[in-house]
Amino acid sequence: MAKKPAPSPATDHALRDHQPGERQIKPTDSRGNGDELHQGVGTEGADAAAYLTDNFGHRISDNQNSLRAGTRGPTLLEDFVLREKIFHFDHERIPERIVHARGSGAHGVFECTKAIPGLTKASILQKEGATCPVFVRFSTVAGGAGSVDTPRDVRGFAVKLYTESGNWDLVGNNIPVFFIQDAMKFPDLVHSVKMEADRGYPQAASAHDTFWDFIGLMPEAMHMIMWAMSDRTIPRSLRMIEGFGVHTFRFVNEKGEGKFVKFHWKPVLGIQSTTWDEAVKIAGADPDFHRRDLFEAIDAGDFPAWDLGVQLFDEAFAEKQPYDVLDATKLIPEEDIPVEIVGRMTLNRNVDNFFAETEQVAFLPSNIIPGIDFSNDPLLQGRLFSYLDTQKSRLGTTNFHQIPINAPKCPFHNFQRDGMMQTLVPTGRANYEPNSLAEAGENGGPRASAETGFATFTANDERNDPAQKLRIRAELFADHFSQARLFYLSQTENEQAHIASALVFELSKVTLDHVRARVVGQLRNIDEDLATRVAMGLAIDLPAKEKAARAPVDLKPSDALSIQKNADDTMEGRKVAILFAEGSDKAAIDKLKSDIESAGGTAFLVAPKVGGIKVKGGTLKADGQLAGSPSVLFDAVASILTDEQAKALSGQGAAVQWFMDAYGHCKTIAHDEATQLLLDKAGVEKDGGVVAIDKFESVGTRRHWAREARVRDLA
């Protein structure tokens, strides 16, 4: 498939210009002047790069042997080349993030598609067509940096927009709500979901005692649990997840008028998930499935994109709702406040170095620009403190903002000096303010600007008097179940079955009977049928309903909350495997491959052996070997075989399992007559998703959920 156009030279230059505007980090001479020096050693210019040196420019004569006292004598302490090399190696790893440790990143560009100057003075949203570079980091939450990509877990969705007014970090998740209402409980939540303290397992999994013990005692988490047990937490691709700012923020315009705003990222490719069995098998087949998928799509020119949408509302709307808009465990249904699209983000360049960029990037919810402000959401308020404090522990210095991936692309000037790993060289003696050095002809440094600087929104009409300092939550924060019920009732029947089955699976791993009973008792506040199904799946009696702090109210179901109701029947961005073997019809394979790619998909050729295989009409090279390319890695499968090869493959477990999994995961299976032998062996029955090769294009890569009840037991 032909690659899509690369970024324009102007955009590409902006994306690669990591340095901070006017204060670029350059090699300096002995006087601290910013004149560029040769990057190598000496004065040989470009030729100097050919010489191996230590970190201070000393050329190295031997990089193979340490300095010894004689041929077989001890190594000498004076070997500064050895000491520096080992010293650097010993410190190459920095502490991983406590949560969101496993991440994947990419560069891109954001473009304003609808200017809204009447609503906000945010510079990037003032003019249609305005652009700025972005860096995005997707992540899992519970697992460590070495865990797998596909566990049932929330996905982090953090975006750094390098605007002309400074960096704006929109740090959210692929779910619009969260487990807790107050940052006070965040350490407890993370401790509970991480590996159990006495045994160090399970890794990247919530299916264990301590997590569900915490959840059973925290009814405010039940709305998030509905999302966490849904297919949202087992996504097909990072390119096919939504993103949410989670919290309620403020837009402020030039007149100082403010409105509440919630941020949404809508994937252009649509939302898609895997099945649980599929996610488990992908973890074994390709632990880097999501990271590889994102990298390869961008590398091929299939740039993933998201539309930035906003939900805008005022205090009057907020007062009328049966929930508190400052409660991070609540969302605003799109039917009540439609999402208005104001921009598009496109990821068009992979990182040059994973550590320097994806690992060292530091996101701060406190990074906002004039025109955007915070609300009194207590969870958000805690995050504003926590993230900045974390960077010092991870990156080792208060100067982490000078690392290229974190540095703004607009000028920055202040009186902050020194600190570990200071790489800039400020001149002059003005490192305080106010000062009057300018009156003596010296550089007095920058000054605050009341007209253009960031000013906190002051017309605060929220319920509590801002002057009050209370350890208390607003009354409506006590409604923990209404929106959990809304989410559950908004799903299709088999999406509800997925939630119930996920709860059964998770709670079956819990060894404490009272914890299981308490969680099911909480579920009764959401939906009696759901609680009954889970109890039956666990083979326990339906426990008493847990007492609700505030009686739930019935809210109108929202179709926007369902993946399947919003499924986009498209081939674009999807991957189809075509199984072939010696003697297969090359013309038929070429036609199917062409049809897939013409529709925007990717065709991946799978065969029992890689390399050149003789087929009818020539030779074909497989993209992957059958045993190493299980069907869980693809959105649909097709098969073009000869009778002889089908018979041979029917005796191979990998081939039978290939079709068995595709069928069990409700995927389209397109096949020729010879493949029927394999389908029979795999227990594949005819339905609307098992079709002849020439019918594949009309069926596409959609999931055939009507099949699910026949292929697996659901709660």
Average pLDDT along the chain, 715 residues, taken 10 residues at a time: 42 38 34 35 55 84 86 85 83 89 97 98 97 98 96 98 95 97 91 94 95 96 97 98 97 94 98 96 96 97 98 96 95 97 98 96 94 92 86 88 92 84 87 82 84 75 55 88 97 97 97 94 97 97 96 96 92 96 96 96 96 93 96 97 96 96 97 96 95 93 94 91
Alpha-carbon distance of 193 to 213, in angstroms, equals: 10
Sign of the CA dihedral with 228 first, then 230, 234, and 238 last = negative
CB atoms within 10 A of CB 703: 23
DSSP classification of residue 355: I
Alpha-carbon distance of 50 to 648, in angstroms, equals: 55
Alpha-carbon distance of 530 to 485, in angstroms, equals: 10
Alpha-carbon distance of 506 to 320, in angstroms, equals: 37
Alpha-carbon distance of 609 to 267, in angstroms, equals: 36
HEC secondary structure over 403-469? CCCCCCCCCCCCCCCCCCCCCCCCCCCCCCCCCCHHHHCCCCCCCCCCCCCCCCCCCCCCCCCCCCC
Q: Tell me the angle at which helices 276-285 and 289-299 cross, rounded to the nearest 10 degrees.
A: 80
Domain ranges of the chain: 38-92, 570-711
Alpha-carbon distance of 12 to 6, in angstroms, equals: 8
What is the token pair recorded at 300? 């091929």
Give the helix, strand, coil percentages of the chain, each rounded to 5. 35, 15, 50
Residue 467: the pLDDT is 57
Fold of 570-711: Rossmann fold (3.40.50)
HEC secondary structure over 183-204? HHHHHHHHHHHCCCCCCCCCCC
DSSP classification of residue 186: H
Is 138:160 a contact under the CB 8 Å cutoff?
no
Reference 103, options 139, 149, 135; nearest CA is 139
What is the token pair recorded at 13? 């230059």
Residue 323, Cβ density class (10 Å: 0-12 exposed, 13-18 middle, ≥19 buried):
buried
Is 636:603 a contact under the CB 8 Å cutoff?
no
What is the token pair recorded at 423? 């790489």
At residue 276, φ and ψ (nearest 5 deg) are -60, -45
Residue 423: what residue type? Answer: T
Q: Are strands 611-615 and 258-267 parallel, antiparallel or unpaired?
A: unpaired
| End-to-end Cα separation, the chain, in angstroms | 42
Is 400:406 a contact under the CB 8 Å cutoff?
yes
Sign of the CA dihedral with 287 first, then 293, 299, and 304 last = negative
Alpha-carbon distance of 7 to 671, in angstroms, equals: 39
CATH assignment of 38-92?
4.10.91.20
DSSP classification of residue 304: -
Residue 621: what residue type? Answer: K
DSSP classification of residue 509: T
For residue 547, give Cα distances in angstroms to 242, 311, 482, 532, 544.
Answer: 33, 33, 14, 17, 9
Residue 694: what residue type? Answer: D
What is the token pair recorded at 496? 């509800």
State whether residue 267 is helix, strand or coil: strand
Residue 22: the pLDDT is 36
Sign of the CA dihedral with 696 first, then 701, 704, and 710 last = positive
pTM of the entire predicted model: 0.85
At residue 710, φ and ψ (nearest 5 deg) are -85, -20
List, in order, residues 6 or more apart from 440 with CB less than 8 Å away. Answer: none
Alpha-carbon distance of 51 to 60, in angstroms, equals: 8
Residue 34: the pLDDT is 35
Supply the DSSP string of 594-658, one letter for each residue: HHHHHTT-EEEEEESS-EEEEEBTEEEEESEEGGGS-GGGSSEEEE---HHHHHHHTT-HHHHHH
What is the token pair recorded at 547? 């007492």
CB atoms within 10 A of CB 463: 13
Alpha-carbon distance of 184 to 344, in angstroms, equals: 35
List, in order, residues 6 or more apart from 49 with CB less than 8 Å away. Answer: 39, 40
CB atoms within 10 A of CB 519: 26
Residue appearing with tokens 């394999």: 678
Q: What tens digit of pLDDT does each residue of 575-584 get?
A: 999 999 999 9
**Active site amino acids:** 100, 173
For residue 274, give Cα distances in angstroms to 105, 207, 234, 282, 547.
Answer: 21, 18, 6, 10, 35
Cis omega (within 30 of 0) for bond into 365: no
At residue 626, φ and ψ (nearest 5 deg) are -55, -50
Residue 227: what residue type? Answer: W
At residue 696, φ and ψ (nearest 5 deg) are -60, -45
The torsion of the CA quartet 48, 52, 56, 61, rounded to 10 degrees, works out to -120
